[in-house]
Amino acid sequence: MKLPFRHLLFLVMILTSLIPITTISLWSANSALENEYNMVHDKHLLLAQNITKALNRYAMDALAIFTTVTNINNNQGVAKDMFTLLNTIDVVSIGVFNQQGQREAVVYGEAQSQPLSLTDPANPFELSDLSQAHFTPIHKNGVKQPTLYMIRQTADMRIWLATMNATYIEQLQSAVIFGNKGHAAIVDKQGNVLAHPNRQWQAEAKNISKVSIVQQMMNGESGVSQFYSPAVKADMIAGFDVVPITGWGVMIPQPLIELDQSAFIVIKFTLLVALVSLIVCSIFSWWIVGLITRPIDILTAKTRDITDVSAKGIQRHPRGFHTAEFAKLFDSFRQMSLEIINGREELEVRVADRTADLAEAQAKALHLANHDAVTGLANRVAIRFKIAELLQQNKHFSLLFIDLDSFKGVNDQHGHRIGDELLKALADKVNKHLFIHDILARYGGDEFIVLMPNMDSISAAECAAEKLLQLFSQPVIIEDKVIAISACIGLALSNGTDKDTDSLIHRADTAMYQAKHQGKNQVTVARAC
């Protein structure tokens, strides 16, 4: 049985295109909703974890600042140089109380109109363990509005209480908006609302501990869960996490109906694409088979000339169902196709090998151009580019220029290999104590630069530099050798007036050399330009 090649090719192309189009359409329709639910694990949970990390860093900083202020304080008030730090952590006032819970003085901010008592039965404070500063749950009774506090007891047995605003917490919550009703919500460890899109709930610190997902957060759990939201009055799905240091819960909920709607949009679009694809494929298939079949006779004659095979010697036909045109082409094209296939395979192998080599070389070159070969840190080129970028944006940031003391003596005594291992060990140790956006770079030899793009306070930057100085001063064990080393750090603050990278680095470098001349192992702040 012989069938015109035009008709056969058209049918084959339609069937070939119809099978994957149908399969993909059905698969997409069935998996669209499942994908929407799976994305919650990737998106909502990640958002909750990121907010949790930010709140944990905020709480650690707030408690550290509160502890520092109360350690150096007296009844005369807080030193003015601490005002900026207290403002950054949203402290409204700080009061000092005696052992009986009665307020003695207000050392920072304005006192409440009614004196606050820590032992007031209407608004009790947990006074059993005040050895460490900590956040209290939101207090509602005995105050004009729900209030968050930090509390601790100093060695002289006085109790310090810091009244807080939830401004930073509210900013984090309000920054998360997606879909129609997707949002973030933050509660304290007793289920009281700290920040919520329902401003009435937030204003009265509504207790929502009966909601199942809130109970999970109060139990210290983390993950993804479905629940009914009394605020939205709908079934929700949310990623949630808990702030380790405070026990606050963070959840990122979204109504289930929005996921269903998103999936339905994907299904409608998939079916429409499938229908359009089939129509377009049918039109092009009919046009293409016409282009192919008309020149077949010409191609047959050309291939006979190329292979120099007589028509009388190629009377073999393929078995089974075949076309008349294909029977003419088969024998004459056989010899030439073998040569073409062999040549093409060899060429593809060579091209693939060459492409892989070029890609690998390009990746290595890019990494070497921006990273130090010994420590793996960003190198001089990379850190200068980042500094120039921040200067162009007129950002306020801090820069630490670090030089190791007596590093040459380490190389002379133990050899350069031990010296390189020491550099790597110090780099790893410092990197673990930097904030997430801070960048540690090796500037050259035993010189390092720490770029702190979000540190615009000279006192906070100097505190961070002192902590790094302590890290460098800790002995390092390398191959059973205990190596003690120190460092000098020059601190420069860019306040938007620096116009080039060299001047800023030079200011920090000059401050570092002042530290060396003043006895080493210390931090010196560069003068403002």
CA–CA distance, 117 with 49 (Å, rounded to integer): 37
d(CA 328, CA 316): 9
The 3-state DSSP class for residue 445 equals coil
* Band (139; pLDDT cuts 50, 70, 90): confident
Alpha helices in 72-92 (DSSP H): 83-88
d(CA 196, CA 202): 6
- Tell me the two tokens of residue 517: 């001349």
Tell me the pLDDT band of 330, cut-offs 50, 70 and 90.
low
Residue reference for tokens 């002289």: 156
Residue 292: name the closest of 71, 75, 65, 8 by CA. Answer: 8
Q: CA 398, CA 409: separation in Å to the nearest integer? A: 30
Residue 312 has pLDDT above 50, yes or no: no
Check residue 329 and give its pLDDT. Answer: 60
Which of 480 and 397 is assigned the larger pLDDT? 397
* 343 vs 401 pLDDT, higher one: 401
Q: What angle do CA 524, 469, 59 make, to 5 degrees?
A: 100
What is the distance between the alpha carbons of residues 258 and 55, in angstroms, rounded to a whole number?
28
Task: Give the pLDDT confidence score for residue 388 in this predicted structure.
Answer: 92
Is residue 443 within 8 Å of 383, Cβ to Cβ? yes
> CA-CA-CA-CA torsion for 299, 305, 308, 312, nearest 10 degrees?
70
Mean pLDDT of 426-440: 91
Residue 309 has pLDDT above 50, yes or no: no
Residue 437 has pLDDT above 50, yes or no: yes
Count other Cβ atoms within 10 Å, centred on residue 284. Answer: 12
Cβ 15 vs Cβ 23: under 8 Å: no
Joined together, the tokens standing for residue 422 give: 């020491």
In which residue are the tokens 């304080």 written?
A: 73
Average pLDDT rounded to a whole number, residues 158-185: 88
d(CA 67, CA 183): 34
Q: Which two three-digit tokens encode residue 60?
A: 């650690």
Tell me whether residue 283 is exposed, middle or buried, using C-beta atoms within 10 angstroms of its C-beta: 0 to 12, 13 to 18, 19 or more: exposed
Residue 314 has what pLDDT?
43
Report pLDDT digits (tens) over 204-235: 999 999 999 999 999 999 999 989 988 788 88
Q: Count Cα neighbours of 399 within 13 Å in the Cβ-side half-sphere.
A: 34
Residue range 235-250: average pLDDT? 93
pLDDT value at position 272?
79
Amino acid identity for residue 1 in this structure: M
pLDDT of 285 strictly over 50: yes
Residue 184's nearest CA partner among 168, 192, 198, 176 is: 176
Region 360-383: mean pLDDT is 80
The pTM of the full predicted model, rounded to 2 decimals, is 0.48
10 Å Cβ neighbour count for 32? Answer: 20
In this structure, of 346-355, 382-391, 456-465, the range with the lowest mean pLDDT score is 346-355
